Amino acid sequence: MVRKSKVITVLKNEETDDEIIEKRFRMTLKKGDRVITTGHGRTKNWGNVVGIVTKRRGDKVFVQWEGTSFSIEDEMDIKEVRPDDGVKINKK
């Protein structure tokens, strides 16, 4: 007996994985959370920079970056940062 596979169509209005992840982070980021850059927008060439959220305003996150000499917070779009899971990435 041979099973026939069903044809699956993808709707044009479906959300992408990035949009789903963005919505999840939008709900979970709060003051005091550690974040890391995602590589979108301004953070494209930043590498893995870690910071602490100082405040939230809608889709904007204000971050104080670790290891920098700046004492002010940086206004970032929600797509440019994600929660830091604490796993270090080893680069060769």
Q: Give me the residue spans of the domains in the chain.
A: 17-83
**Residue 58 predicted with pLDDT over 60:** yes
pLDDT of residue 92: 46
Which of 41, 89, 91 lies closest to 63, judged by CA?
Answer: 41
Contacts of 22 (CB under 8 A, 6+ apart): 78, 79
C-alpha distances in angstroms, 76 versus 3, 6, 53, 85?
Answer: 51, 43, 10, 19
**Residue 9 predicted with pLDDT over 90:** no
**Residue 17 predicted with pLDDT over 90:** no
Per-residue pLDDT, averaged over 43-64, amounts to 88
Give the confidence band of 53 by pLDDT, cuts at 50, 70, 90. Answer: very high
pLDDT of residue 15: 57
What value, to the nearest 5°, has the Cα angle with vertex 77 and ends 49 and 43?
A: 35
pTM of structure: 0.64
17-83 fold: SH3 type barrels. (2.30.30)
Both tokens of 83, joined, read 């929660």
